[in-house]
Structure 1
Amino acid sequence: MRASTGLVEIIGLTEKFTFNPKEGIDNPVMVITDDADSVPTPSPRLCVLKREEGESYGFHLRVERGRQGHIIRKVMSGGVADCSGLQDGDRLLEVNNCYVDDVPHPEVARKIKLSGHQLCLLVLNGEEYEQTASRGQDLRDLVKAHKGESCKPPRLCHITRDPVSGLGINFTPVEGEKGHFSVSLVTGGAAEKAGVRKGDRLVWINGATVSDLTHSALSRMMKKCGNHITILVIDSESEKNYLRQRMPILPSMAVPHNLPHRARKLHLLSGPEGYGFLLRLERTPSGRISHVLREMDRGGPAERAGMQDGELLLEINGESVETLKHEEIVDRVRQSKEQVYFTTITSQGLEFYTQLGLSPLLFCEDDAAEEEKESSARASETEKSVQKEMDASDKSRLCSLQKGPLGFGFNLSCVPQSPGTFISQVAFGGSGQGAGLLVGDVVIEVNGQNVEGKCLEDVIMLVKEGGHFLSLLVMDKMSYNEEKQTDTLTRDVSKQEEDKCEISCL
């Protein structure tokens, strides 16, 4: 529809009329159509993936050069992801109701892998994502508008029977809603102390989803539970919102309350004689073969970090040790040089989560924190530090850092009034040194974005925007100058993508 002074021209009609504002627009020859220049509102999609034991989700998650966001690639035809509606090129906005567009790739991949056999992804078509980003629209606002009313996270509560009042909880079927149960509490009882609230709805009990249970089956489970029970609950209003959005309520979304066991993150700084402990491959009482931490040196780095004899090793520098051989773990410790991050748990703790069908890494307490905050949406998670193997002829290095007690452990500098940034100082024992940064290194990229032509202030701003995680592509000064002089820094586009992409097969 095109407007001219005093006239409205109707495309496709020959008749014209004079528009009188006082009479309004109720005219039989006037056709109201959408403005051709209007932009349709992007529409995120919710994809719920369920896989069987030993089955993959059937897609790759990538971060690619020159493209924003976490990109869905290689969706296996007929696989779990394909059947859920996931498409090649989709951008990932949320994992299990947690916004991840601005979260580093390793942490996003970790969230997916820890989800277990069920996964909830909110995605946006690739073209719509790029259009939204180009307009500068806040993707968080888009997600909020799509979801409507916000949902409070569920709570995973462990209840220990009180000698007098018992578990202090009862479940009643919700009238007209099969598989739904409301919670009633004994005031001041064990359940209430464990974080259960009056009016909560029961979602999951000791690893079993209650939507599949009758009231009599639930009652039998309660009688057999003994002195302990672990349940997933949510307030009734949030449950309605989850159901309206057709979003499953999963333990991986939960805030933990009163859990008897938690995995711990330990930060060890090497001493003159190493880290001061032994790593042994042992059979635990349950029959499981595990990597066990033993014989901490008195006053040594391991003991100072809080390591306890007999703990099981779950991760090294954010990488799961489940599929690693003993020698491979030892090599990774040696490659860490002056510092290493371990995630550990007791043998009893591992059995606790195994019986519930959950990963012990879902709820990991950080020993560096001054106090535990169970009211937060999630306990802090360790990032998987990924050191990329570069082509032998490529002298650039990709360094992945996680902020520690010394920050990122390096300083940036530049030549006054000139573009180009370099590492001017590396703190001993800091994250920068552990990642392999050296004084004099020229910074080429920050979190995948080229910064060769940017001023120091802009580079520092990009570093801060990355939060607690940082990826730097650097090159020693001599090699950088040689590359610039021979104009060989720019490589074939396909090789750049292969070298610089972060990929996780999920």
Structure 2
Amino acid sequence: MYPWVSCLLCVTAAQMGKRHNMKASTGLVEIIGLTEKFTFNPKEGIDNPVMVITEDFVSTPSPRLCVLKREEGESYAFHLRVERGCQGHVIRNVVSGGIAACSGLKDGDRLLEVNNCYVDDVPHPEVAKMIKQSGHQLCLLVLDGEEYEQAMSRGQDLRGLARGKGCKPPRLCHITRDPVSGLGINFTPIEGGKGRFSVNLVKGGAAEKAGVCKGDHLVWMNGAAVSDLTHSALSRMMKKCGDHITILVIDSESEKNYMQQRMPILPAMAVPHNLPYRAKKLHLVSGPEGYGFLLRLEKAPSGRTFHVLREMDRGSPAERAGMKDGELLLEVNGESVESLKHEEIVDRVRLSGRQISFTTITQQGLEFYTRLGLSPLLFCEDGSVEREKESSISASATEQSPQKEMDGSCKPRRCSLQKGPLGFGFNLGCVPQCSGTFISQVAFGGPGQSAGLLVGDVVMEVNGQNVEEKYLEDVILLVKEGGHYLSLVVMDKTGYNKLKQHDTPTRDISDSEQEEDGYEISSL
């Protein structure tokens, strides 16, 4: 009898002698060193349950959640790299004592999620961009480098380790005061929870129209978390907000799930509702005279300098793409221009050949996001499609009779999509003043664009179910339930409005005018 056998199996020598005829290497139990691999003779049976040992024990990877908070001008103090011969997005150069190190990040960690979004299969530039756009707070799910390599070698599904399952995303809602009913919202402290507030709504009021739902919990107001606020402090903030307020809210069940998983609820995770300003991505193809606009470096009254787009030539690629005089340039081909000199931007434009993409925003839009402490690129719309298509449709429509015009423009379109590495490639937004959802963003080159979705399209059906009277959250759930395949029935916004007017002639036309004021939507 070997003295270490009883230690390994928790079985006494006497028990072994009574129940088993064991040989060191060729008998009923084969023991090699101190491994956990055993070969049993099934005819003998096993009396002691602790001797039931799996052939190969496979450990489950243990990802870590790291929450990073920084102040204006501070760095998160780590690098994200893609290395030759090394799989995944690698965390490197974690500064000792820095924000990343204090949050638990370690050199060699692999990044799995950014703000509750799985990124292991997302291209590195997109992941880096997501981190930069997150603002002053960042939520990362990481896995130890050695564990990651082992999991990959075993073919384990790392997506299965994702957090936030079953949670609806928070909503970032911008509320504009109604002259009669005000903001249409107030807050009640949740008993037993400091800094936690439940939402009370005026039915049909401004807050409800802006996407806030009954029973929501307040997370954030005008750029400030409410977790440390008293009810009186929150009331004072409300009084100072003026005619507009931007809040982050979430339903109570999802908040509970986030709290159980110790995940922060951040604006970068949110679905935008009724935001007054959105950055636009414009795609231009050069003509004989170039792109047809001027780029100027101008100083604002605040003293800051901006790269400003000016003097779009009539009929130029810039004008057709939707570029407006006075807009600020944020990106060239997805690269931020914030730290670039004027000459460097011009060089990038020239080197891009005959095609280029610009991301722009109005001066007021930039100020809006700056006040909230958010990146203006966080909720970017794609305004890439040229205006010639829209113009040709308008010209041909004028030649038709009113009835034929309505028949042609009120034709729903069925769009079938298959989920790609970055999802379905579109975002949904809610329509103010009435129920319903529309396509608020279409990713360039994604499944949504390939299927024919256009920004501004009204969503009528999701996987065969009518959603014209459903709220945004319900529509999003239907999309998710479809898995990797999605069937949408959509209609051009103008045609949809004409169809509804034809069906219900008494509809107030001013509703559609207010709808336009609430959103900046570019036709693709």
One fold, TM greater than 0.5? yes
Q: Is the 8 A contact 1:318 1:382 kept in 2?
A: no
Distance 1:127 1:380, change over 3 A: farther
Give per-residue Cα distances to partners, 1:402-447, cap 9 Å, x unaligned.
Answer: 779999xxxxxxxxxxxxxxxxxxxxxxxxxxxxxxxxxxxxxxxx
Cα distance, 1:63–1:381 mapped onto 2, change above 3 Å: farther
Report the TM-score when normalising by structure 2: 0.67
Contact 1:315–1:343 under 8 Å retained in 2: yes
Identity of counterpart residues, as a percentage?
Answer: 75
Matches within 5 A, 1:199-210: 199-210=215-226
Per-residue deviation, residues 189-242 of structure 1 (Å, max 9, x unmatched): 110110000110000001111112111011011111111110000011111111
- Cα separation, 1, equivalents of 2:320 and 2:448: 15
2:198 and 2:215 in contact (8 A); partners too: yes
Unaligned runs of 5+ in 2: 1-8, 21-40, 391-425, 431-436, 451-524
Picking from 142, 145, 154, the partner of 2:161 is 142
Partner residue, 1:374: 429
Instruction: Identify the structure with the greater strand proportion.
Output: 1
Instruction: Return the letter of the residue paired with 2:84.
Output: R
The aligned counterpart of 2:308 is 292
Q: What's 1:197 paired with?
A: 213
Question: Structure 1: how far apart are the matches of 2:177 and 2:12?
Answer: 77
Query: For the residues of structure 1 that align with 2:53 and 2:234, how far apart are their CA atoms?
Result: 55
Q: CA deviation at 1:14?
A: 5.0
Does the 8 Å contact 1:183/1:201 carry over to 2?
yes
Letter in 2 for 1:50: K
Indicate yes or no: 2:319 matched with 1:264: no
Q: How far apart are 1:88 and its partner, in Å?
A: 1.4
| 1:90 aligned residue | 109
Residue 280 of structure 1 pairs with residue 335 of structure 2: no
**Alignment check: 8 A CA contact 2:278 2:379 kept:** yes
Q: Is the 8 A contact 2:116 2:164 kept in 1?
A: no
Q: Residue 86 of structure 2 is aligned with which of 60, 64, 67?
A: 67
1:342 aligns with 2:358: yes
Determine which of 134, 148, 152 is the counterpart of 1:133.
152
Letter in 1 for 2:70: R
**CA positional deviation for 1:288:** 2.9
Q: Which has the higher contact order (CA 8 A, sep 6+)?
A: 1
Q: 1:372 to 1:126 in 2, by over 3 A?
A: closer
> Higher helix share goes to which structure?
2
CA distance in 2, matches of 1:89, 1:372: 34
Residue type at the aligned position of 2:428: K
SS at 1:131's partner residue?
A: helix
* Aligned partners of 1:10 and 1:30 also within 8 Å: no
Query: What letter matches 1:270 in structure 2?
Result: S
Q: What is the distance in 1 between the residues matched to 2:185 and 2:213?
A: 10
The count of residues paired between Structure 1 and Structure 2 equals 376
Cα separation, partners in 2 of 1:244 and 1:314, compared to 1, 3 Å:
same
Deviations 1:388-411 (CA, angstroms, capped at 9, x unpaired): xxxxxxxxxxxxxx779999xxxx
- Counterpart of 1:176 in structure 2 is 192
Structural mapping, 1:347-362, within 5 Å:
347-362=363-378
The answer to whether the 8 A contact 1:364-1:379 is kept is no
Distance 2:49 2:274 in 1: 66
Q: Secondary structure at the match of 1:292?
A: strand
* Structure 1 pair 382–60 and aligned structure 2 pair: CA distance change class (3 A): farther
Runs (4 or more) in structure 1 with deviation over 6 Å come to: 9-12, 369-372, 402-407
Q: Deviations over 1:458-480 (max 9, x none)?
A: xxxxxxxxxxxxxxxxxxxxxxx
Which residue of structure 1 aligns with residue 168 of structure 2?
Answer: 152
1:179-328 to 2 correspondences below 5 Å:
179-328=195-344
Q: 1:332 to 1:88 in 2, by over 3 A?
A: same
Cα separation, partners in 2 of 1:161 and 1:403, compared to 1, 3 Å: closer
Unpaired runs of 5+ residues, structure 1, are 1-8, 384-401, 408-506
Q: 1:245 Cα shift? A: 1.2
SS of the counterpart of 2:15? coil
Structure 1 distance, partners of 2:142, 2:370, is 31
**SS of the residue aligned with 2:256?**
helix
